[in-house]
Amino acid sequence: MDALSGTERLIALSEIQELKARRDHSLDLKEWDTYVSLHAPDHVSSHGAQDGGDMGSAADVVRQLAVTLDGVITAHHSHTPVIEFETPEKAKCVWAMEDNLYWKQGEEDHWLRGFGFYHETCEKRDGVWLFTSRSLRRTHVMMSPGAKLGAERAALNKQNA
Amino acid sequence: MDALSGTERLIALSEIQELKARRDHSLDLKEWDTYVSLHAPDHVSSHGAQDGGDMGSAADVVRQLAVTLDGVITAHHSHTPVIEFETPEKAKCVWAMEDNLYWKQGEEDHWLRGFGFYHETCEKRDGVWLFTSRSLRRTHVMMSPGAKLGAERAALNKQNA
Amino acid sequence: MDALSGTERLIALSEIQELKARRDHSLDLKEWDTYVSLHAPDHVSSHGAQDGGDMGSAADVVRQLAVTLDGVITAHHSHTPVIEFETPEKAKCVWAMEDNLYWKQGEEDHWLRGFGFYHETCEKRDGVWLFTSRSLRRTHVMMSPGAKLGAERAALNKQNA
């Protein structure tokens, strides 16, 4: 049950929204240390196959992203959250999202444009809100013809390294 | 006049922003019962011709949308609201917006991409904020060549049913 | 140091977010008087070359924009702010952003689509929050082949006037 007072709830909402802002910004700026610091050690990330499948902990995710997003410009934008508190220190959040990715394969320009909803949970631990899980549920995704991302791109990067 | 105290006003802002979030999410997820429940029985929707013209009440709107959006993937994203209170239980809201629609006509992929501002009013009734009106003022809209939406698409769907 | 109480900080956050909303809306609606009124007289704007370079004060910016954006439809959308208070009346803000511009060159349709982060400062003066600086740091920008914007477009407009 949500036993937060009016003001306490507003403060929690604002802290969770800032947590999300820092996650989206640090992802697109590839500030991986900041990115990891926003997630609990036991955080679990599970996306669709196109978006990395079961990605494990935040540290695991970053190890994968640093490879698969090497040379990829990304813009992850999140909108209009619905945030519900299970307890004063535990919340479920749904954000509408759009992401745009741009990269080269040799001389060719490639891109991905996608839409969906982030389903996230977060918890306040030692006074600080942290993500504890994330799942991306896609509604639509488009890619340039011949585009390679994820494992395929990681293999391509390794081959060219 | 806005006679809300600081905290009361912040709570109302957060409730109205959540109302908007639930509207955009339920529209794109085609959760029509939820969509209707966010609108007052006397809600009035009036859009440009391309966006459905005078669409009537929320129940009327949903009856039309369920037909015209059948088979259409939609992403309606709303941004940076300006919310003004006429009374503590009556507000006017302007949101910047972008929408992206994707659908098939036979084997052909079609799309719409648009920009504009939602002008909305909402009221707190029996302790719950509800939409009482919505008008979409377009600044720009693009469609794939040969794209058919709205009444044209509804006719096409009926013909193919 | 941030010496704001919980509620005072929430009010300041909401006022700064509304300031940003009014800026984005008035820019896209070309409501230049409103646009100028949201900026301090000593406001400084510095963007990348493509986005106008060192643009000077808000009044200078508007004089340039009124020329370079004449006949250009724009949508500037800002997302997920990180707002930090240096003092109770001085804040630094970072917003993720996307902009889309559409215009004609003779009979040809042209466009720009860009992504980046707005870095802004604002101050509360005589009880009202105002922008004191803005810098746009691009992560990606695309333009239609042959597109002319900024000084080139201003010259083109003058030539055709």
Please write down the HEC assignment for all residues of chain C: CCCCCHHHHHHHHHHHHHHHHHHHHHHHCCCHHHHHHCEEEEEEEECCHHHCCEEECHHHHHHHHHHHCCCCEEEEEEEEEEEEEEECCEEEEEEEEEEEEEEEECCEEEEEEEEEEEEEEEEEECCEEEEEEEEEEEEEEEECCCCCCHHHHHHHHHHHC
Res A99 pLDDT > 50:
yes
pLDDT digits (tens, 9 = 90+) for A57-78: 888 888 888 888 999 999 999 9
Q: Is residue A1 over pLDDT 50?
A: no
- Structure confidence by residue, pLDDT tens digits, B127-161: 999 999 999 999 999 999 999 887 676 666 666 55
Interface contact C5, partner A, CB < 8 A:
no
Interface contact A102, partner C, CB < 8 A: yes
Q: Which residues of B touch C28 (CB under 8 A)?
A: 96, 139
User: pLDDT digit of tens for each residue in chain C (161 aa)?
Assistant: 457 889 999 999 999 999 999 999 999 999 999 999 999 999 998 877 667 677 778 888 888 888 889 999 999 999 999 999 999 999 999 999 999 999 999 999 999 999 999 999 999 999 999 999 999 999 999 999 999 887 677 666 666 55
What is the pLDDT at residue A54? 75
Average pLDDT of the segment spanning B26-44: 95
**Which pLDDT belongs to residue B15?**
98
Among the partner residues C10, C22, C75, nearest to B140 by beta-carbon distance: C75
Neighbour tally for B39: CB within 10 Å: 23
pLDDT single digits (tens) B85-110: 999 999 999 999 999 999 999 999 99
pLDDT at B155: 66
Going by C-alpha positions, the residue among A65, A146, A63 that lies closest to residue A99 is A65
The 3-state secondary structure of B6-60 reads HHHHHHHHHHHHHHHHHHHHHHHCCCHHHHHHCEEEEEEEECCHHHCCEEECHHH
Percent of chain A with pLDDT over 90: 72
Give the mean pLDDT of A95-123: 96
d(CA A95, CA C147): 35
Interface test with A, best of B4, B5, B9, B14 (most A CBs within 10 A): B14
Distance in Å, alpha carbon of B77 to nearest chain A alpha carbon: 7
Which residue of A14, A75, A77 is in closest CB contact with C13?
A: A14
- Identify the pLDDT of residue C111: 96
Instruction: Give the span between the Cα atoms of B110 and B119, in whole angstroms.
Output: 28
A107 has pLDDT over 70: yes
CATH number of A6-160: 3.10.450.50
Does residue A83 carry a pLDDT above 80? yes
Chain A 30-89, residues with CB within 8 Å of chain C CB atoms = 73, 75, 77-79
Average pLDDT in chain A: 90
Query: Rounded to two decimals, what is the model's pTM?
Result: 0.93
Mutation site, B15, B25, B79, interface A, largest A CB count within 10 A: B25
